[in-house]
């Protein structure tokens, strides 16, 4: 398991296929040219390698995975808790980059978020106590609450998700960077090829 943010995580309980599948066809992956990798790997290898991740993330991050419509998502029942994500730093976005706010602004937002979360959870529990059904009471829960879900995805779609979302927010950058670490563990030569070419920046 690899930690993400302050209370999130990504683990990889299962993977099907590997770069060694190429070696069964007589190829030595670490000796292949970039041109060969680009043509063969994209067409014949990446869609055959399947990862099954278990991811703990804030709801607003889960929504991005869901909206990407890549692979298969399933919420893990019984894993949610009242742990809520509060960023260690807060950012301004100028349209191109994220810039850390000054210490005073970060402290102010930290206090405001903690107060909001505390109020939301209290209100949620009061709604339940008053008899409101849980499914409707959940409407007041904040997007910073953590949820756990499984994500089954082939390597091709995993790469697409990383490329589409790594710069969308500091939080998504954290999750995408951790997914890249798993790629380095299990697809070292493919990842090195991507870093030399598509991921140069």
For the chain, the domain total comes to 2
pLDDT at 46 over 90: no
Q: What is the distance between the alpha carbons of residues 153 and 179, in angstroms, rounded to a whole number?
A: 12
Which tens digit of pLDDT belongs to each residue from 93-124? 988 889 999 999 999 999 999 999 999 999 99
Range of the domain at 34: 1-85+144-201
Which tens digit of pLDDT belongs to each residue from 162-176? 999 999 999 999 999
The enclosing domain of 92 has a CATH number of 1.20.5
Same domain, residue pair 105 and 69: no
Which tens digit of pLDDT belongs to each residue from 121-140? 999 999 999 999 999 998 99
Alpha helices in the chain (DSSP H): 20-23, 34-36, 59-68, 103-129, 134-137, 155-165, 170-186, 188-196
Q: Token digits for 172?
A: 């998504």
Same domain, residue pair 69 and 157: yes
The enclosing domain of 79 has a CATH number of 3.30.1360.170
Same domain, residue pair 14 and 65: yes
Degrees, nearest 5: CA angle 12-183-61? 65
Same domain, residue pair 3 and 20: yes
Share of residues in the chain with pLDDT > 90 (%): 66
Same domain, residue pair 114 and 162: no
């Amino acid at each position: 398991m690899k930690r993400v943010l302050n209370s999130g995580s990504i683990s990889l309980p299962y993977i099907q296929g590997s770069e060694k599948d190429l070696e069964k066809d007589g190829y030595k992956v670490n000796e292949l040219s970039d041109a060969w990798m680009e043509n063969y790997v994209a067409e014949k290898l990446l869609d055959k390698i399947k990862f099954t991740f278990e991811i703990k993330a804030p709801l607003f991050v889960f929504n991005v995975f869901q909206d990407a419509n890549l692979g298969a998502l399933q919420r893990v029942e019984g894993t949610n808790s009242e742990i809520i994500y509060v960023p260690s730093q807060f950012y301004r976005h100028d349209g191109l980059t994220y810039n850390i706010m000054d210490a005073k602004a970060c402290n102010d937002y930290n206090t405001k978020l903690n107060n909001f979360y505390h109020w939301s959870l209290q209100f949620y529990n009061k709604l339940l106590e008053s008899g409101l059904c849980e499914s409707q009471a959940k409407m007041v829960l904040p997007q910073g609450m953590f949820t756990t879900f499984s994500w089954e995805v082939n390597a091709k779609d995993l790469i697409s998700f990383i490329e589409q979302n790594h710069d969308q927010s500091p939080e998504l950058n954290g999750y995408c960077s951790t997914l890249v670490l798993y790629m380095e563990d299990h697809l070292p030569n493919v990842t090195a090829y991507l870093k030399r070419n598509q991921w140069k920046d």
